[in-house]
Amino acid sequence: MGERAALIALDNVGYRRGGRQVLSGLTWRMEPGQAWGVVGANGAGKSTFLRLLRGEIWPAPDQGRRLYGLDGPPEESPLAMRAASRLVSAELMETYRRRDWNLSLLDTVCAGFGDTAYLHHEISPAQRARARELIAELGLAHLVDQPLLRLSRGQMKRALIARALVGDPAILFLDEGCEDLDRQARPRVLGLLTRRVEAGMGLVVASHREDELLPCLTHLLRLAGGRIAWQGLRQAAPPLSPAGEREDWFPAASDPTTPPTRTPDQPEPPPLPYLVRLRGVEAFLDHKLVLERLDWEIAPGQGWAVLGPNGAGKTTLLRLLIGDLLPALGGQVRWFGQARRHSIWELRQRISLVSADLQSWHSHPQTGLETVISGFTGSVGLNAPPTPEQTATARAWLERLELTHLAERDVTELSYGELRRLLIARAMVTRPDLLLLDEPFAGLDPASREQVRALLDHLAQAGVALVVVTHHDQDLPQAVTNLLALDQGRVVFRGPRADHRSRPDAPGAANG
């Protein structure tokens, strides 16, 4: 009896992009009944590996062979695999946002029957009913007719997972599938995936978080530097690397080599009563109330976490803080202890934002150094030659975040986590008084998350105020001592973080 045919087989496969070797020497098999987890640090090649498996990219012509064995003799053509599988990734979500593909949630899911971005084909009543059933299973029935781009990132992620599953794929490739999901949504998604695997669906999941590696995964593969460092049965796998083993990423705040938040020749400004003050603020999107009667104040140097389930209004709140959105009539947002109006340019110089939406716009060729320098003007890419001082500051922040190796790399070739760290460096070049971070740890491996936590604590010691939106309270730096919890646009808790921790039954506590 011959060897059982593999669904996917790689034999010493490599992949190049832009003249750079990204994957090398990959020998691997996925057989029927297997479900794989793929782990590795940022830049290890996980996302590229998933695209290679699905057939979205081809091996380098002189580097190995890839074969598919779905329904017959092994073949090199990926067409059958592309038709029988689906991929969900952060890049897919960003593509919808960047290209303004604003279908309804229902039409987005129905498009999954043909694996198209838009609903170009006729959908039968039975298919539409199946889509509605899956949407309800993921807790989105109340949003079925909402425009996709008006959903929160967590709701949109669930919509794209429903889109992938609606056509009953033979294999699902899932890249960081639980990022952006709140604590109620994660069990829904993981439970649905587990049931599908038990029913015979193949699954390949790339993740940085051990708690998102489903119990139904039978095998694990670890990538390092574009090569397979380990592969085998799940129960035989070595433990994931610890979150962080270094404590010396950043020098003490008094170290003269530390870039200060203000240059030495600038006089110390008088203390401000507040950086941002909101009074009676309400916000509407598409005529729908998103935030209701919000009173809140951020003092200089404070560290705040904003928690709440998907769709609670967290990202809308950040848009108010940075001036991208105006409150409804009667509400008031004031900045820097002053009643006067501030221009967007003034706000951009003193408030910086890092978000997945910002990341989605960095889709055009530019170097890592250019990306960081663009923080001075708030542009995507450079719109004017930088000054020597701007270049020096940008290089200092690249060194601080251990990103100097990305200075000359094209950002379109970077991993999701590598680009996220560049955007944090970009946010700091103006030495802001207030740093807003919307899920800043999404896409980061454990060591990078620890590094960014250490950076945020260091910035807080230097006087930078922080507002961090996250669904993973274990990611929060020590400097975040205050907490604002939202639920359906209302404040359900505002106060010291320690007080919220002591109330396990408090509204929003489960969504941290």
Name the amino acid, one letter, at 255.
D
Residue 142, judged by CB atoms within 10 A of its CB (0-12, 13-18, 19+), counts as exposed
Burial pattern 351-381, b for ≥16 Cβ within 10 A else e, equals: bbbbbbbbbbebbeebbbbbbbbbbbbbeeb
Q: Is 137 a domain residue?
A: yes
In tens, the pLDDT along 328-345 reads: 988 999 999 988 888 888
Question: Range of 484's domain?
Answer: 301-323+344-511
Q: Tell me whether residue 362 is in a domain.
A: yes
Query: Does residue 42 fall inside a structural domain?
Result: yes
Please report whether residue 219 resides in a domain: yes
Q: pLDDT at position 265, please?
A: 55
Do residues 52 and 172 share a domain? yes
In this structure, the answer to whether residues 205 and 101 fall within a common structural domain is yes
Whether residues 213 and 305 share a domain: the answer is no
Residue 449 lies in a domain: yes
Give a yes or no: residue 487 inside a domain. yes
Q: Is residue 186 in a domain?
A: yes
If asked whether residues 309 and 221 sit together in one domain, one would say: no
Residues 202 and 306 in one domain: no
Give 502's pLDDT tier (boundaries 50, 70, 90): low
pLDDT single digits (tens) 439-483: 888 878 888 888 888 888 988 998 999 999 988 888 899 999 999
The domain tally of the chain equals 2
- pLDDT for 240: 64
Which pLDDT band, with edges at 50, 70 and 90, does 296 fall under? very high
Q: What is the CATH number of the domain that holds 55?
A: 3.40.50.300
Q: What is the mean pLDDT of residues 23-30?
A: 96
Q: Are residues 200 and 310 in the same domain?
A: no
- DSSP string of 387-432? PHHHHHHHHHHHHHTT-GGGTTSBGGGS-HHHHHHHHHHHHHTT--
Same domain, 230 and 305: no
Q: Does residue 248 fall inside a structural domain?
A: no
Q: Where among 236, 254, 273 does a domain terminate?
A: 236
pLDDT above 60 (res 312) = yes
Q: How do residues 130-166 score in pLDDT, each as one tens digit?
A: 999 999 999 999 999 999 988 888 899 999 999 999 9
Q: Could you tell me which residues come within 8 angstroms of residue 286 by beta carbon, excluding any fewer than 6 positions away?
A: 147, 150
Is pLDDT above 90 for 223?
A: yes
231 and 353 belong to one structural domain: no
- The per-residue pLDDT of the chain, averaged, comes to 87
Residue at a domain's end among 211, 236, 261: 236
Q: What integer pLDDT is reported at residue 50 of this predicted model?
A: 96
Rg (CA), the chain: 24
Q: Say whether both 138 and 224 belong to one domain.
A: yes
pLDDT (tens digit, 9 = 90+) per residue, 395-419?
A: 999 998 889 999 999 998 888 888 8
